[in-house]
Structure 1
Amino acid sequence: MGNWIDLKTDADTGIESVRAHFVGHAYDPHWHDSFLVGVTEQGVQQFNCRRVRHRSTPGQVFLLEPGDIHDGLAPTEDGFTYSTLYLQPAWLDQQLGALFEQVPRDSLPSFADTLSHDVQLAQATALAFQAVHQQDLRIVRQSATDALLASLTRHLHWRRRQNPDPRLPLTAQRARDYLHDNLERDIGLEELALACGIDRFRLTRAFKAAFGLAPHAYLIQLRLAHARRRLALGQRPADVAIALGFADQSHLGRWFRRAYQLTPAQYRRLCSNIPD
């Protein structure tokens, strides 16, 4: 069985539901703007995240926050299959605000663990995925996602929103912010280092130590995350490529496929129902 991906988007919540199967190399290091809650159905899903190598087996739930850099690999010949819900941060904030009587001020929801053996959470994840992915009745979808959120509360903690983040080197954070502010420009290392008041060699070392990627790789992943958003809104791949500083549509396509195993046109069609 080869690689395949089945992706749908819920119009009410913006939740993306993805069921996929991979053999061998699945995808390069990348991140998402969403909270990922998924369950491994079959095989062994191996991935690196937060400087730890994880192996998710059938029935385990994997939990990733926005910005968590991760890759994917099937270490066994039969590959792996998983179902994942991509929860939009704005939607999750709204739901948690209704679920908790008092949400800590200036705080962000955070997952306590990357992998969980919680059977109840696995069942709630599978049922929510089924309801959303099969586009069931609205009341069924809402009931299933409510049950998922209730199960998730045992795995959430609140992380104080701080800028700058005391856990990371200030130089790396300045470089990251500069990349975000200039993501569509053809930025060189010398320019980035000058903006941070440090030479480019020390900058690269500090940045990679903080974020797990070199600055150029981070910039590409940042552009890809923005590309997903634009494509989901129905923008044409060629226009997205130009707007985000890629050389052309094929350049965007090469990086997009390496990260997500979909072409930009496929992703746009699956999210927006607009034909190629």
Structure 2
Amino acid sequence: MSSTANHWIDLTQDRDTGIETLRARFQGHTHAYDAHWHDSYLVGVTEQGVQQFNCRRTRYQSLAGNVFLLEPGEIHDGDAPTEGGFTYRTIYLDPQWLERELSVLFEEAPAGSQLSFATTLATDTRLAQATSAAFQAIHTRELRIVRQSALDQMLGSLTDHLHWRARYREDPRLPRVAQIAREYLHAHLQYDLSLDEVAAACGVDRFRLTRAFKAAYGLPPHAYLVQLRVARARQLLSRGETPANVAMALGFADQSHLGRWFVRAYGLTPAAYRKRCSNLPDA
């Protein structure tokens, strides 16, 4: 468990499925997380207090018993807006694992589609109880048959909140400039890019680029690039890569630089995250 004066975080990873479970507590009037995203589907339950976050251009307040549902790549943050703070538990589901497991519950997926949550915040007692039970079984490393049964119960409850949506390479709702810039950042994430360089790739000046990008994705290009690197760092650390090597591979100035951004996004140091997910000693 990782903790400070204002919060604690307890994270584990299931060896069979790669599913991560995280339980955390943040004290009152605390900024919990900077805007970031995950490569997983998130299914979480607020246990206590008011959990506030921004996602899909909307500010949500999740109360005790509410379920929050986030898709891979959805940018969100986290705050404790009240003195009582909040406590929550979350299950991180690998997209390929989820689609494979749900294939027996759903009819065959339409061509060119992917799973999507119908809502970001739900009041569903059955789903909340099933999610909490699945979390407990995985987090405490219950017998395999117990973990599988608990996950099946949760997936059965989750189907009411899932649907298939078109899988698109380009979102017609977003400006073409923003999409080109995003593709460029993903392709060059390890380099020390300048705004002028990204703007040139898009055929616009850097001021127009910044306005279009922030309007489309909610973050300016530089902040998006940092969070892209942090998300990739999370993947590499979970595979056992050392923080020093990850920092070097992703273009951070050094391990300390990676650590500052990683803590702001996930509340854990890179070494602590690596140790919990890979079962390897700190390095």
Deviation of 1:174 (Å): 0.7
Q: Deviations over 1:110-162 (max 9, x none)?
A: 11111000111111111111111111111111111111111111111211011
Q: Distance in 2 between matches of 1:172 and 1:2?
A: 37
The residue type equivalent to 2:94 in the other structure is Q
Q: 1:32 aligns with which of 24, 28, 38?
A: 38
Q: What residue number does 2:230 align with?
A: 224
Q: Distance in 2 between matches of 1:201 and 1:128?
A: 47
Structure 2 residue 231 is the aligned partner of structure 1 residue 247: no
TM-score, normalised relative to structure 2: 0.96
Q: Distance in 1 between matches of 2:149 and 2:229?
A: 35
Unaligned 5+ runs, structure 2:
none
Q: Distance in 2 between matches of 1:86 and 1:202?
A: 36
Q: Distance in 1 between matches of 2:100 and 2:125?
A: 26
The residue type equivalent to 1:41 in the other structure is E
Aligned-residue CA RMSD (Å) = 0.9
How many residues align structurally? 276
The residue type equivalent to 2:22 in the other structure is V
Deviation of 1:98 (Å): 2.6
Q: Secondary structure at the match of 1:148?
A: helix
Q: Secondary structure at the match of 2:53?
A: strand
Q: Secondary structure at the match of 1:77?
A: coil
Q: Deviations over 1:179-219 (max 9, x none)?
A: 00111011111110111111111111110011000000000
Q: Distance in 1 between matches of 2:193 and 2:96?
A: 30
Q: What residue number does 2:99 align with?
A: 93
Deviation of 1:75 (Å): 1.1
The residue type equivalent to 2:21 in the other structure is S
The residue type equivalent to 1:42 in the other structure is Q
Structure 2 residue 179 is the aligned partner of structure 1 residue 173: yes
Q: What residue number does 1:144 align with?
A: 150
The residue type equivalent to 1:204 in the other structure is T
Task: Give runs of aligned pairs for residues 145-224 of structure 1, distance below 5 A.
Answer: 145-224=151-230
The residue type equivalent to 1:264 in the other structure is P
Q: Distance in 2 between matches of 1:110 and 1:167?
A: 17
Q: Secondary structure at the match of 2:103?
A: helix
Q: 2:78 aligns with which of 72, 75, 83?
A: 72
The residue type equivalent to 1:130 in the other structure is Q
The residue type equivalent to 2:19 in the other structure is I
Q: Distance in 2 between matches of 1:188 and 1:8?
A: 37
Q: What residue number does 2:276 align with?
A: 270
Structure 2 residue 224 is the aligned partner of structure 1 residue 238: no
The residue type equivalent to 2:12 in the other structure is K
Structure 2 residue 256 is the aligned partner of structure 1 residue 260: no
Q: What residue number does 1:11 align with?
A: 15
Q: Distance in 2 between matches of 1:96 and 1:219?
A: 33
Q: Distance in 2 between matches of 1:96 and 1:103?
A: 10
Deviation of 1:104 (Å): 1.3
The residue type equivalent to 2:24 in the other structure is A
Q: Distance in 2 between matches of 1:173 and 1:268?
A: 32
Q: 2:57 aligns with which of 38, 45, 51?
A: 51
Kindly, what percent of the aligned residue pairs are identical? Answer: 67
Which contiguous aligned blocks of 4+ residues in structure 1 show a shift greater than 4 angstroms?
A: none
Q: What residue number does 1:21 align with?
A: 25
Q: What residue number does 1:60 align with?
A: 66
Q: Deviations over 1:64-117 (max 9, x none)?
A: 011111111111112100000000111111112232131111101111111000
